[in-house]
Amino acid sequence: MYRRNGSLMIEEKQDRIVLCGANSYEQKYYFNEQFSNLPENIRQELQIMCVLYTEDVGGILTLEFEEDGTLEFKVTAEESDYLFDEIGSVLKIKQYQMEKRELLEALEMYYRVFYLGEEIDEEEES
């Protein structure tokens, strides 16, 4: 979802849990410590993915869990950021969704089981 107005993003985040994010303006990476029990290699992969995204495209990228456990890529850019590449952003997210599909699905399953308390169906595991 693309929002260039920061106040809209604040309203939208109320029912979401941020997993991690990167900010090209401040050159910072954020990881939600609620998820510190994730394996180190997964945390590193998330960091690499977010930082490379902001280096390539610009703006701010966050990975957020929706109420139902769906993991969403959220992108914002400052109004004055004329270098932000909206088309490149869409393409990069689609690339990540294809290349990192297994990781993203595993994170969604993890969240649904450990945070939402859902039971794992045998059919879902296959």
**86 token code pair:** 């909206």
pLDDT the model gives residue 7: 34
* Residue-level pLDDT at 123: 60
In the chain, domain spans: 2-117
Full pLDDT tens readout for the chain, 126 residues: 434 434 333 334 457 899 999 999 999 999 999 999 999 999 999 999 999 999 999 999 999 999 999 999 999 999 999 899 999 999 999 999 999 999 999 999 999 999 998 888 766 555
Short-list 19, 116, 29, CA closest to 74 = 19
